[in-house]
Chains A and B, each alone.
Chain A
Amino acid sequence: MLTCSNISYRIKDKIIIDNISFNLKSGDHLLILGPSGSGKTTLLCLLAALTKPTSGNIEYDGCDVYELKPEERDKFRGKNLGIIFQNFHLIKSLNVYQNIALPAQMADGKIDSDQINYYLKELGLEDKSNQRISSLSVGQSQRLAVIRSFINKPKWILCDEPTSALDDDNTDKLLKLIKSEAKKNKASLIIVTHDKRVKSHFENNKIIEL
């Protein structure tokens, strides 16, 4: 269960996030919708244990992440949170295999090569595991980025504008992939976006508008 209680974030006198509260049960999905400059990415950073809120608490299964020491917080993030970025941001200097293995390496340094090979097979990228990211098509890159966020079997998936650069068809495909992977891994899903097309994939009571 994710519990956000009265979280606010200010820079000097400017209020970026103002007193937001919500709960998200395990396996549930939540869409946070808002226009550019409404503080969506800031909210994602707060939820991802990257930036401490000015006030309020964020608890994952009763654990206040900002009460943890910085090292422990990094470890918590690596093991429990999967993050999908706008433009997917794969690491160009690493090959396909290394990009998938990256979260495992960053979180605790333990890489399960069987699991990685399984995902490579699922993505149809077995023969490209040693190739650079630049050799992948846009679709392959999208799927790789999604799978990368699930590699540590996180309990919560945070997505930052995952569909902003995609057409309707690809938006639909990507959201279906994210949701199905979340379901497979029994992970809760939070999508932060300004893209109203995403709204149709969520039930009305699971949408917060900023």
Chain B
Amino acid sequence: MNLFTISTSYLSSRLQNSILNIVMMAAGIMLITILLLFGYQTQQRLTADSKGIDGVIGAKGSPLQLVLSTIYHIDIPTGNIDLKTASKIKKHPQIKQAIPISLGDSYKGFRIVGTDPSYIKHFKASFLKGSIWQDSMEAVVGYETAKNANLKLGDHFSGSHGLVQGGEIHGDESYKIVGILKPTKTVLDRLIITSLASVWDIHNHHEDEAHEEDHDHHDHEKEEIEEDREITALLIKYKNRMAAITFPRYINQNTNMQTASPSFEIARLIKLIGVGKDSVILFGSFLIILSLSSMLISLLNSVYQRRYDLAIFRTLGASRKKVFLIVIIEGMIISIIGSLIGLIAGHLAIEMIGNYSYKGAELGLTGFIFLPQIFILWAGILLLCLIICLIPAIRAYKTDIKEMLTHVA
């Protein structure tokens, strides 16, 4: 038996009260841990996905929606832009690189992106198996897509219309998987990438079917379709910083398109979500303060209720320091157990969101990440607990044994 046993025995004799304190402490720390993990990983993901992209050119509409749909693939595109105009933009002297993006279909919730090989190069992705497409209707799948949709090299699949599950399936046309990418920890892992020609071919085929009976106009319309080809957006990189100021103005004023800056839009988005994030952090902090206050009251009560016990300890030879330590150990047991449960629960919650929620998986959330700021927070809370425990411990330290024994006698 040691001081730790004495403290734990007392805590277990007041189990309900101890559990309440532990639960409150755990809940506060869990909330803050979830927020810190979510915020950090989202920020990392957003940064990784938009790295090297200075702007997005797409149809007019919400610039945030344009950025979310074409870079992060988590929203519906604002519309399409004309391929001819896009080709002209590609040759603009202020543009260093322009990657075309064509969206519209998906497979089991994974988006099919029509683009050119420069999109894969942009993410510095390499092949786990196979290689880049050579023909129309050949596709390359990201690592997570292959794993979750159970796609293997050489498999065939048919995309469905729309960017979420449940759309009309393009049953007559199927893609063949010619490559599987290694994980990149970017949005690329959760995409199916194919040539622009594949996307056009699928949709032209459907339009052909619609006009199947009108043979006279068939050839003429096919030519028109070739002329009027569209894409969803162009991901661009400027040649110099000046272009970042002048080029968007040029596009916005002279064309029916818009240029959106990912960094600006994401900063705006974070600012918007920041209000909600602050509220949850405030709530988590409130829970922690509540649990610390409850622990303080509980320890003060326990010192008061056990004042005769503590006096007995002193008469049995315990020094003031020992009595002081017993109270500190009691408080710290609650704090350490509560905070550890909170930390573990926070990490597990994020791991579960990453595994079982579609959006969480899309963001690549994982609980198996250890942030220094969380441990700094943990150490800070434990220090605060220690300071709070000092109040009842000092009271125990100062217990007047004579008064206690005389009073009871």
| A residues apposed to B, CB below 8 Å | 40-42, 44-45, 48, 50-51, 70-71, 74-75, 77-79, 83, 85-87, 89, 91-95, 97-98, 101-103, 105-109, 111, 152, 160-161
Contact = CB atoms under 8 A, between A and B. Distances in A.
Contacts of A95: 9
Interface in B355-409: 401-402, 405-406, 408-409
Contact of B317 (A70, A79, A89): A79
Contacts of B405: 41, 44-45, 50, 85, 160
A107 B117 CA distance: 79
Interface of B: 1-3, 5-6, 9-10, 12-14, 308-309, 312-322, 401-402, 405-406, 408-409
B322 to A, nearest CB: 7
Contacts of A94: 6, 9
Nearest to B3: A105
A93 B316 contact: no
Contact of A75 (B2, B317, B409): B317
A128 to B, nearest CB: 16
A179 to B, nearest CB: 21
A71 B12 CA distance: 30
A106 B319 CA distance: 8
A70 B408 contact: no
Contact of B316 (A70, A71, A83): A83
A149 to B, nearest CB: 9
B217 to A, nearest CB: 93
A45 B1 contact: no
11 contacts: A45-B401, A74-B314, A74-B317, A78-B316, A83-B315, A83-B316, A86-B408, A93-B9, A102-B313, A111-B1, A160-B409
A74 B312 contact: no
Contacts of A101: 1
A89 B312 contact: yes
B255 to A, nearest CB: 79
Nearest to B321: A71
Given A91-B312, A98-B9, A41 B317 contact: no
Contacts of B13: 92-93
Which of B2, B309, B315, B321 is packed against the most chain A CB atoms within 10 Å?
B315
A74 B402 contact: no
B316 A106 contact: yes
B206 to A, nearest CB: 77
Contacts of B321: 71
Given A70-B320, A103-B317, A89 B308 contact: yes
Nearest to A51: B402
Contacts of A105: 1-3, 6
A106 B10 contact: no
A139 B345 CA distance: 49
Contact of B309 (A41, A70, A91): A91
